Amino acid sequence: MWVVVTESEYFRAQIIKTKLESENIPVKLQRETIGLLYGITFDGLGGVKILVPEEYQQKAEVIINAQRSD
């Protein structure tokens, strides 16, 4: 089962995805259709959900939180 570990705008989500994958954590990105069509990110529209398998959730959250504090 895949779980959402965070949400972000598209380019930041790509950075997080790359970091998690470098730690051997599988990642899926899930975008809102409206953002994809119109290229917007506003009030939740156009945001990207970052998902990992449930068994990697805790490790992924530690990595994401460490990256935020840098």
Domain ranges of the chain: 2-68
CB atoms within 10 A of CB 27: 20
In one letter, which amino acid is 48? V
Do β-strands 2-8 and 48-53 pair in parallel, antiparallel, or remain unpaired? antiparallel
What's the CATH number for 2-68?
3.30.70
Q: Please work out, in degrees rounded to the nearest 5, the angle formed at the alpha carbon of residue 17 by the alpha carbons of 66 and 20.
A: 50
Can you give the pLDDT at residue 67? Answer: 80
Can you give the pLDDT at residue 50? Answer: 97
34, 58 Cβ separation under 8 angstroms? no
Can you give the pLDDT at residue 25? Answer: 98
Q: Which residues of the chain have pLDDT under 50?
A: none
- Among 30, 37, 27, 26, smallest CA distance to 10 is for 30
pTM of the predicted model over 0.85:
no
